[in-house]
Structure 1
Amino acid sequence: MPHLTVHVLESDLAGRETALIEKLTDAVVTVYGEWARGIVDVRLIGLPPGRWGIGGTPAQAPSPSVTFGIREAAFSRPDADEIVAGLVTAVTEAVVGVFGERVRSDVTVELVGSPAGRTGAGGAVVTS
């Protein structure tokens, strides 16, 4: 299941939640296909001003940061480079589509791989 956690200033997020969830889900679907739509998990974390720092000082207008949880096996596929590039591009475009061009150059998308057997759902370890 693709998990996307987005950190963004609360003031930038307010009123844009639904649009961001929809666009991020669509972004994943453009790479994985329509079958993935129902399993995309998006979590939005709005931070108050002063609670996000860059370079040792509170950030004035940070661009959203996306952590994308993905099965580690995806990085071993023959098409892994295309999957990674496609996800980074599609997720960035989704964020820019909601917040505007001002955020593009600093949007971060971090793909984090989970090895099989290292996560659980419903109280059971997921092995595939």
Structure 2
Amino acid sequence: VLDAPYALIGVSALAADDEAEARRQVLTGALSMVRLRTGRPGLIPSPEEAAAYDFSPMEREFVDGWLSNVIHGTPDEVRTGLDDLAKRTGADELMITANAHGGDARLRSYELIADAYGLPRHA
């Protein structure tokens, strides 16, 4: 039994070396969510596939809403967003997931976020 409440929040966050790459990577997760919501689940598409996809107006509205809940950008932007979320919610801990195509983009995102907080990288 805890002496006090403890809140953990799961959050989708993706960091990249620059804003353009972050946007490019985060759109892969957005397209994956569109497909899931429309009964077409599958693997997260490549950045090239996501960039070439012609979102319908309804899909674009969904993507805009979904992206407003995904903290993404440069490492400093992501750290600021995560810090703001923790402060706003009173969360004691954040559990981060990165919806990106391929392990390399996810690993790089986690490394950049760890670096932004001065945490050690994976072993």
TM over 0.5: no
Which of the two has greater helix per residue? 2
Higher relative contact order (CA 8 A, sep 6+): 2
Give the structure-1-normalised TM-score. Answer: 0.30
Give the structure-2-normalised TM-score. Answer: 0.31
